[in-house]
Amino acid sequence: MEAAKADSKPMAQGDIDFKPKAEESLAFACSHKKSQAIDHSDILEKVDRLVDARTTEQVFDLYMTKVATHCPVVVFPSGTTMRSIRDTKPVLYLAVLASAVGDILPREKQIALWDEMMNQYAISILREGEKSLEMVHYTMAQAVRVL
């Protein structure tokens, strides 16, 4: 340790030390809250008010056959059903619907889905700091918008 101090040059007045001290890094890491799962059950209720079950199946099929084959950003294994994604990954379900809806729904419902997707993004990732593979997939699926 003494050798390391001897090798380093003294800092001039006004210089910034960009190397954080170990104890500062540890204190910073411990002071931040750990990412906790956020309850997304309200998403399903909101989507159900905007889109009927038959249409969600149609949009999901469009995503699986057209979107995922031409732009494989988020790909599901063959045989994956809309229901399984809906029940296990509601945020991703919303992103897939909003991204692939195209002209299947009237413009005002497309906009409402897109607004809800962006609202969930703001709540989950920006405000709550949620970190999960579903959030990564969600962010990637947002980039695929079929117009």
Residues 6+ apart with CB under 8 A from 96: 59, 60, 63, 74, 85, 141
Going by pLDDT thresholds of 50, 70 and 90, the confidence category of residue 58 is very high
Higher per-residue confidence, 119 vs 1: 119
Nearest partner of 106 among 55, 45, 53, judged by Cα:
55
Which range has the worst mean pLDDT, 4-8, 39-43, 87-91, 96-100?
Answer: 4-8
Going by pLDDT thresholds of 50, 70 and 90, the confidence category of residue 28 is very low
% residues pLDDT > 70 (the chain): 72
Query: How far is the C-alpha of 37 from the C-alpha of 122, rounded, in Å?
Result: 15
